[in-house]
Structure 1
């Protein structure tokens, strides 16, 4: 049995090339994560104010109402894009 030598560092075990992540994709990923954290923080602040019986600042409601769905849609788009890229090749 012959020794084939080390495999190249840019290929995976299945022989496919490792894809580079585009700067735009990394930016969208970071923005989606930031929106998700900000939306969850806004929702937590909204719930704490409501539990304490205080007036709720509309910014917390808007943050939870818009940031969480937008982050979800961005992440779903990234997943769909990843599936399409993987099927292409």
Structure 2
């Protein structure tokens, strides 16, 4: 980030922070897990409303995928805050 003081009439130039490929992969993984977990939860709820039995894989998906996505997203937020404070 450019920290020099701009001269009068000049707008400060800010550069975007560089995102690592690792953070992009983790963000995509978290988003995919959240979408899959919500789809599984929707299938479980619709099956329950119809009075049908639910395949255990859908129930396991809803139980495990949503918390995993939440933990990944929380970790990414904490890492972003830590990076921002470092400068």
Normalised by the length of structure 2, the TM-score is: 0.85
* Residue in structure 2 matched with residue 26 of structure 1 by the alignment: 24
Aligned residue for 2:70?
72
In the superposition, the TM-score normalised over structure 1's length comes to 0.83
Report matched runs for 1:1-89 at 5 Å. 3-4=9-10, 11-12=13-14, 17-89=15-87
Structure-1 separation of matches of 2:67 and 2:32: 13
- Number of equivalences: 81
Distance 1:76 1:27 in 2: 15
Q: Tell me: CA distance 1:20–1:2, structure 2 relative to 1, closer, same or farther (3 Å).
A: closer
CA RMSD of aligned residues (A): 1.7
Unaligned runs of 5+ in 2: 1-6
Is the partner of 2:27 in helix, strand or coil?
A: helix
